[in-house]
Amino acid sequence: MNSSQDAKRPSDSAVTLSVLMGPGDANLLGNVHGGVIMRLVDEAGALAAMRHARRSVVTVRLDSMSFLEPVLVGDLLQLKATVNWVGRTSIEVGVRVEAENPITGAHTHTNSAYAVYVALGEQGRPQEVCPLLLETDEEKRRWSEAETRREHRLQQKEEKAQEQKRP
Ligand SMILES: CC(C)(COP(=O)(O)OP(=O)(O)OC[C@H]1O[C@@H](n2cnc3c(N)ncnc32)[C@H](O)[C@@H]1OP(=O)(O)O)[C@@H](O)C(=O)NCCC(=O)NCCS
């Protein structure tokens, strides 16, 4: 059982991954594949969740992603992952993706995404995680927006389960 004394701040687990985009990440026109970016979003998000839980985690939900600007070969992709919300065993992480042209220094916000992870115990079953300590107004706003998204996700999950039961 975790107590509030074990609580961690979002900054305790926040992660920034910096990855140089190469030709193997892109199509023939030099645009980086959306799937490459999604994989890195999941990696950055999972790392933040693992650092919060200090356990293995699995992705239970990766929200739909829009790609606002192209990412090009030669860009330095920066993925900033921060824990927004924690439940009993699940953790929502927000990931902001920026592309930097290392020559001009120009930064582009290419997309943002939310992912939910579940911490696993030794038997591979969901395991309780420590609470999130909210200090700033921005952290409180993120928590409350994440709660709304969680309700929506669980409602969608329930609707899908009902659909599957229909003959
Ligand atoms: C993640 C997994 C262990 C959850 O198992 P489960 O039997 O649904 O467990 P629970 O019902 O206890 O749910 C665990 C938590 O996930 C949350 N959850 C489950 N489905 C969810 C969804 N679609 N969206 C958001 N949260 C969800 C639950 O609300 C619960 O959160 P809480 O403990 O904070 O309240 C199981 O679904 C699984 O193994 N999925 C495959 C994961 C995977 O392979 N990912 C890709 C590679 S990492």
Q: Where are the domains of the chain?
A: 4-165
Q: Encode pLDDT of 22-67 as tens digits.
A: 999 999 999 999 999 999 999 999 999 999 999 999 999 999 898 9
**What are the CA-CA distances from residue 145 to residues 7, 36, 106, 159 (Å)?**
20, 27, 30, 21
> Which of 4 and 91 is assigned the larger pLDDT?
91
Is 82 exposed, middle or buried (CB count within 10 Å of its CB: 0-12, 13-18, 19+)?
Answer: buried
Position in ligand 1 atom list of the atom nearest CA 124: 3
Q: Encode pLDDT of 117-144 as tens digits.
A: 999 999 999 999 999 999 999 999 999 9
User: In the CATH scheme, what architecture does the domain 4-165 have?
Assistant: Roll (3.10)
Which residue of 116, 118, 143 sits with most ligand 1 atoms within 8 Å of its CB, as the best mutation to test the pocket? Answer: 118
Position in ligand 1 atom list of the atom nearest CA 157: 23
Give the confidence band of 167 by pLDDT, cuts at 50, 70, 90: confident
Q: Does residue 5 surpass a pLDDT of 70?
A: no
Phi (first) and psi of residue 135, to 5 degrees? -120, -40
Within 8 A by CB and 6+ apart from 162, the residues are none
pTM of the model: 0.95
DSSP per-residue string spanning 80-92 = EEEEEEE-SSEEE
